[in-house]
Amino acid sequence: MHKLHRNGVELIGDVDDDPVVHSGNSKSFAVFVLVTRERLTPQGRPVVNFHRITVYGGLVDYVANSIRKGDYVEVRGRLQSKSFSENYTDPRDIIMDVVAKEVFPHGIRE
């Protein structure tokens, strides 16, 4: 019997810069960075994380035309790892992307 595993991500944060659209080989995609802020450190500063978001398909046009730097958005998708080494041998060469299935404005800042 196989165990069920789920790869799901939900992030809410600020768009760091306007999305960049890449086209080629009949498949286009858009990339942007989402900034999230979490709990405060003992020094009273928020923990800030930067997440690379990649979108494909029909979502590319929406993101390219509707999402801008500073927008407060919610992203739902899955994690995907990429490596610059052949066999994922060096952890420093691994990049984690969020492949978005949904991107939409989040109306209330927390």
**pLDDT exceeding 90 applies to what percent of the chain?**
62
User: Are 74 and 63 spatial neighbours (Cβ–Cβ below 8 Å)?
Assistant: no
Q: What angle do CA 16, 70, 45 make, to 5 degrees?
A: 70
Name the least confident of 4-13, 14-23, 56-65, 81-90.
81-90
Q: Does residue 108 have a pLDDT over 90?
A: no
In the DSSP assignment, the letter for residue 107 is -
CA distances from 107 to 21, 25, 58, 72, 73 (A): 25, 36, 23, 8, 8
User: What value does the mean pLDDT take over residues 29-53?
Assistant: 91
pLDDT tens track for 71-104 = 999 999 999 987 766 665 666 667 889 999 999 9
What is the fold, at CATH topology level, of the domain defined by 9-105?
Answer: OB fold (Dihydrolipoamide Acetyltransferase, E2P) (2.40.50)
Domain boundaries along the sequence of the chain? 9-105
- How much is the pLDDT for 26? 76
User: What value does the mean pLDDT take over residues 4-26?
Assistant: 91
